Amino acid sequence: MRNGYRAPLARLVVVVAVVLAGLALVRPSWACGCGALVTSTESGVDVAQETSIVRHDGAQEEIVMRLSVRSEAHDAAWLMPTPARARVTLGERAWFDQLDRLTQPVVHRHRHWLPRRDRGVYSGAPPRSGGEVAVLAWQKLGPFEVTTLSAGDSGALASWLTSHGYHLPGRLAEALKPYVAERWTFTAVKLAPEQGRLTGELDPLRIAFPTKAPIYPIRLSRLARTPQSVHLYVLAPHRVYVSGLGMATTYAGRVTAADVASPALRTMIGQGAFMTEVVRQGIPPADFTGDLRLVSTTDTPYRQVENVDDGLVRFLGVPAYLWFLALAVVALGLVWLTAVIVARRAARVRRGSAAASP
């Protein structure tokens, strides 16, 4: 561990249901996963894709989370636990595109002379508090309704959510107990499309909270119904290693504000940061036994290399080896023809010599 810096990171999401008018915030996108899910009905919501930018400077953590959801429901809400009261603002989709471009693998293209078997790439109004649940803050943020809650009892929190129209899985109150016991707060965000089902990519949310030991809550993903995926861009003083879940590092390197175009993303990067990208697809829900924790490690740069097989070397559209094969056949033919001519000439000379003898 370098300079005593530990970066436990975490992520978790609970999706809960409610209707909001005038919200065109969904568009189709790709898929990967995230935590426990609830709706205002029993239809449920699956987070198909979760990609997050996580930044920690030693005192404050920021998580910018982009979700893509699949559901038969017409509305939902997202519940995010944090170790301290969070401040929520909107993020930008473009931030993810810019970081994705920075972390693209280096492509090495290869062509070969002879055929191979393998081809391609290798390598509303604010709600009220109730009982042991306190509403710390409420705000309308673009298309979202954001409520910050604290709770002294997980059952009271579950009851509060139920009384506000959320259909909770039976295991959710039990799953919330560790966070309530540690006196975490919860950010509930109501989501709803303008019309139709809640399916597609949602606008990113940016959540900031103070913490010396950054954490990315992910335990509630254990309640998911399908395999999940985790994709994180971690901006920290040093490269980080994710302990647990068998995460693969796909990029590690220093980035500066000059590397990105968005002014807000430049501000996040500040004077520079070491960015570590970690990914794992298709994680069984049973694997989510605790929150993700990242640990500072040696700042060794890493970038994926993709070796692309561009096929055979060709001349005039014909594989080069066929040209060489043809040339070899011609050469052999010439050698054979030359040998025949030489042999015939030698035979004639011998016959002439024999005839001239007395």
Q: Based on the domain organization, do 16 and 142 belong to the same domain?
A: yes
Sheet architecture: strand order including 6-7? 6-7, 293-296, 240-243
Write b or e for each residue in 192-229: b if 16 or more Cβ atoms lie within 10 A of its Cβ, otherwise e.
Answer: bbeeebbbbbbbbbbbbbeeeebbbbbbbbbbbeeebb
Last residue of a domain, one of 293, 312, 331: 312
Q: Based on the domain organization, do 305 and 319 belong to the same domain?
A: no
Q: Based on the domain organization, do 330 and 295 belong to the same domain?
A: no
Decide: 41 and 106 in contact? Cβ < 8 Å: no
Q: Based on the domain organization, do 264 and 336 belong to the same domain?
A: no
Decide: 69 and 46 in contact? Cβ < 8 Å: yes
Residue 1 counted as domain residue = no
Name the residue range of residue 174's domain: 6-312
Q: What angle do CA 316, 318, 321 make, to 5 degrees?
A: 120
Comparing CA positions, the residue from 175, 120, 172, 181 lying closest to residue 150 is 181
Residue 332 CB partners (closer than 8 Å, separation 6+): none
Q: Based on the domain organization, do 224 and 328 belong to the same domain?
A: no
Q: How many domains does the chain have?
A: 2
Q: Based on the domain organization, do 328 and 189 belong to the same domain?
A: no
Decide: 35 and 221 in contact? Cβ < 8 Å: yes
2: which 2 tokens? 């370098």
Residue 160 counted as domain residue = yes
Decide: 37 and 161 in contact? Cβ < 8 Å: no
Q: Which residues on adjacent β-strands are paired with residue 82?
A: 185
Query: Residue 328: its pLDDT value, please?
Result: 85
142: which 2 tokens? 């673009």
Q: Based on the domain organization, do 37 and 183 belong to the same domain?
A: yes
Query: Residue 242: its pLDDT value, please?
Result: 84
Q: What are the distances in angstroms from CA 266 to CA 179, 212, 235?
A: 33, 23, 12
Dihedral sign of CA atoms 235, 237, 239, 245 in order: negative
Return the C-alpha torsion angle 145, 146, 151, 157, nearest 10.
30
16: which 2 tokens? 């809960």
Rounded Cα–Cα distance for residues 127 and 188 (Å):
11
Rounded Cα–Cα distance for residues 233 and 52 (Å):
6
Residue 358 CB partners (closer than 8 Å, separation 6+): none
Q: Based on the domain organization, do 136 and 77 belong to the same domain?
A: yes
Q: Based on the domain organization, do 182 and 92 belong to the same domain?
A: yes
358 residues of the chain, pLDDT tens digit each: 444 433 333 333 333 332 222 222 332 222 233 334 555 555 566 666 789 999 999 899 999 998 877 766 666 777 889 999 999 999 999 999 999 999 998 877 666 566 665 444 444 556 666 557 898 988 888 777 888 889 888 888 888 877 876 666 667 778 888 999 999 998 888 775 555 566 677 788 899 999 988 888 888 888 877 888 889 999 999 999 887 788 899 999 999 999 999 999 999 999 999 999 999 988 898 998 888 888 899 999 999 887 776 666 777 777 776 777 778 888 888 888 888 888 888 777 777 666 666 6
Q: Based on the domain organization, do 266 and 346 belong to the same domain?
A: no
Residue 197 counted as domain residue = yes
Q: Based on the domain organization, do 248 and 324 belong to the same domain?
A: no
Calculate the CA 143 to chain-centre distance.
24
pLDDT digits (tens, 9 = 90+) for 32-74: 333 345 555 555 666 667 899 999 998 999 999 988 777 666 6
pTM over 0.85: no
Query: Residue 159: its pLDDT value, please?
Result: 83
3-class SS string, the chain:
CCCCCEECCCCCCEEECCCCCCCCCCECCCCCCCCCECECCCCCEEEEEEEEEEEECCCEEEEEEEEEEEECCCCEEEEEEECCCCEEEECCHHHHHHHHHHCCCEEEEEEECCCCCCCEEECCCCCCCECCEEEEEEEEECCEEEEEEEECCHHHHHHHHHHCCCECCCCHHHHHHHHHHCCCEEEEEEECCCCCCCCEECCCEEEEEECCCCCECCHHHHHCCCCEEEEEEEEECCCEEEECCCCEEEEEEEECHHHCCCHHHHHHHCCCEEEEEEEEEEECHHHCCCCEEEEECCCCCEECEEEEEEEECEECCEEHHHHHHHHHHHHHHHHHHHHHHHHHHHHHHHHHHHHHCC
Phi, psi for residue 304 in degrees, rounded to 5? -65, 145
